[in-house]
Structure 1
């Protein structure tokens, strides 16, 4: 694959000139820019997909094409006016970064690469719309990665990303200037990105950034646990997010393998450790402080895609604003609850307003209206 690297542009504007006024407070590293195809489907399609339901694990190009070809025959009819198939900028880190910029007004940027194809243009347009800094996003000759997000009748999602042959940021392309002046680096664990992650962490720590890591999926934890343990026990991860399935998988084989035990393990190596428990809220620990926070707001699960990503947006907002551990969890619960009310990992303006109402009702610090990208 021929490669040409240059700054991303939107409508001909160089993002390093048009958006990057000062370093973003929060940077996300997503080596592969990714476009999500999200649809509600019946069980018969899910039974044909390799891997376990509810997880996220890479598939080959042929498998991606097969799933996309089968979608129309298995899409469930919409019960409201919402689209039955959405195609948007995706990826866990992108969801978190977009949420921080769009709903919380925190200056955010992304490090990664996308191809000069329609998917690449869509990724840049979608992220740029929410004022995400794209000056660290490299444009390369080649294709942009894609992911199919299959949502069942009760809102559970099964994700199958296809990264084969897609462009990505390599470890040796990372520059100190990418990180200088920022406060947080947001990462998601993935075996294909381990070397990039290690180099990014090294530079980030040298530049004084805090590092956040999401454990990605129970499948990823199960199949590639050793490199993950090495990352966690390095002492360079300041904040770790895990859902209850990932937390249990992390300690599988130990005498006690449950979310509480996993939280204790993570807290030994990370300043902040958080385990989300779906409708049961979350547990978190910072040094000797432990909190258990229930879910906020009525449960209305249309699609669980992005729930953990947007929880991270709210929690990071809390840390940036100097909120207490419990308040960070409560904001995270509000933002995580906002995204599950519609299809995909992008929160709608109506659901941001739902989140602000929940935050106000619960006495939580609201973002400054002038900084939010939400259209009201």
Structure 2
């Protein structure tokens, strides 16, 4: 096996996040799925954008956010995702490269536009996301740089992107390439609604040993297993994957790797400002430790520290020096 060029190569949605603070009344008025993620078409996205209070726009997407955290922690990363040949696509590409992430997937010509996520943040810090996937849902297998995938120690896949047909085929091919090259495959379930639609696929990947690291939160685990008890659900999945990582919001996180179990409490936060990107940055911290061969508990601690940093401010990506922060806390 050749030495990997990248620590992590990720495939995910290439979208721009539009984030605005709002009152609970607006969530009700717009009939939004409070605290969840809803897929919307371009017309609905335009309507919601017009209804939003003043907002800030930053490049986002679950896997892209995770890579931003990993890159900040000093690891080498590359991203595969689809943008359109438009202004938002150019902004997204610039932001990724400026963060130190290699991103060379060719832009898609014509419609639809580059994707965006409209995020409404209520006073309690909860985020309500409405996603127009745009060009991202048309990532074809032909756009994959297979040599790039094979050169990454870990292939990280975003569950959100499993929903559209073309990217789903591309991700299946990417798994084949990564496993053929002897690399690890990490998968984040992303959201319960994705599991409701594609749970059979995910359970098949798990049962056939195609996933090495599985990230879920408490509700996703329940949806995946059909078991409301966290402990019972965790015990159902843990023997089937080399490493299972489950986040539990304020209750911390638990992981199992080869029968070795570890848990950590949530990292203290003075004030929860915006929970956008909490799971993404937890994965970033955890994968940083995993890539360095650290013990399971330390990997979890890294995840908790990164998640706490991102929920203390608006936006899904770190705003402080994560390397320095972790050096102080670990």
TM-score (norm 2): 0.91
Are positions 1:191 and 2:163 aligned together? yes
Contact 2:82–2:136 (8 Å) recurs in 1: no
Larger Rg: 1
Provide, for residues 332-354 of structure 1, a one-character-per-residue CA deviation record: whole Å limited to 9, x for no partner: 100111111111112113xx36x
Query: What is the aligned partner in structure 1 of residue 318 from structure 2?
Result: 347
Are positions 1:115 and 2:84 aligned together? yes
Q: Show the 5 A alignment for 1:83-232.
A: 85-102=55-72, 104-135=73-104, 137-142=105-110, 143-164=113-134, 168-189=138-159, 190-192=162-164, 193-232=167-206
Contact 2:75–2:288 (8 Å) recurs in 1: yes
Q: CA deviation at 1:47?
A: 2.1
Distance in 2 (alpha carbons) for counterparts of 1:213 and 1:239: 6
Query: What is the aligned partner in structure 2 of residue 18 from structure 1?
Result: none
Are positions 1:267 and 2:238 aligned together? yes
Distance in 2 (alpha carbons) for counterparts of 1:172 and 1:261: 41
Distance in 2 (alpha carbons) for counterparts of 1:233 and 1:153: 41
Distance in 2 (alpha carbons) for counterparts of 1:344 and 1:130: 15
Query: What is the aligned partner in structure 2 of residue 29 from structure 1?
Result: 11
Q: CA deviation at 1:90?
A: 0.6
Decide which moves more: 225-234 or 90-99: 225-234
Contact 1:55–1:218 (8 Å) recurs in 2: no
Distance in 2 (alpha carbons) for counterparts of 1:116 and 1:134: 14
Contact 2:68–2:101 (8 Å) recurs in 1: yes
Q: Equivalent residue of 1:109, what SS?
A: strand
Q: CA deviation at 1:51?
A: 6.0
For structure 1, list consecutive stretches of 5 or more residues without a partner in the other structure: 1-21, 73-83, 365-376
Contact 1:240–1:266 (8 Å) recurs in 2: no
Q: CA deviation at 1:71?
A: 0.5
Q: Equivalent residue of 1:47, what SS?
A: helix
Contact 1:33–1:168 (8 Å) recurs in 2: no
TM-score (norm 1): 0.80
Distance in 2 (alpha carbons) for counterparts of 1:206 and 1:120: 32
Contact 1:23–1:180 (8 Å) recurs in 2: no
Q: CA deviation at 1:54?
A: 1.6
Distance in 1 (alpha carbons) for counterparts of 2:269 and 2:29: 33
Provide, for residues 51-71 of structure 1, a one-character-per-residue CA deviation record: whole Å limited to 9, x for no partner: 632222311111111110100
Q: Equivalent residue of 1:57, what SS?
A: strand
Count of matched residue pairs: 321
Query: Against the structure 1 CA distance between its residues 45 and 231, is the aligned structure 2 distance closer, same or farther, given a 3 Å change threshold?
Result: farther
Are positions 1:63 and 2:34 aligned together? no
Provide, for residues 162-181 of structure 1, a one-character-per-residue CA deviation record: whole Å limited to 9, x for no partner: 12465632123324212132
Q: CA deviation at 1:265?
A: 2.5
- Alignment equivalent of 1:233, drawn from 197, 207, 210: 207
- Alignment equivalent of 2:262, drawn from 271, 291, 296: 291
Query: What is the aligned partner in structure 2 of residue 372 from structure 1?
Result: none
Provide, for residues 212-253 of structure 1, a one-character-per-residue CA deviation record: whole Å limited to 9, x for no partner: 11111122222332222222222110001111121122223x
Distance in 2 (alpha carbons) for counterparts of 1:127 and 1:280: 32
Q: CA deviation at 1:101?
A: 0.5
Contact 1:112–1:168 (8 Å) recurs in 2: no
Distance in 2 (alpha carbons) for counterparts of 1:59 and 1:232: 29
Question: What RMSD, in angstroms, separates the aligned Cα atoms of the two structures?
Answer: 1.9
Distance in 1 (alpha carbons) for counterparts of 2:300 and 2:177: 28
Distance in 1 (alpha carbons) for counterparts of 2:55 and 2:5: 35
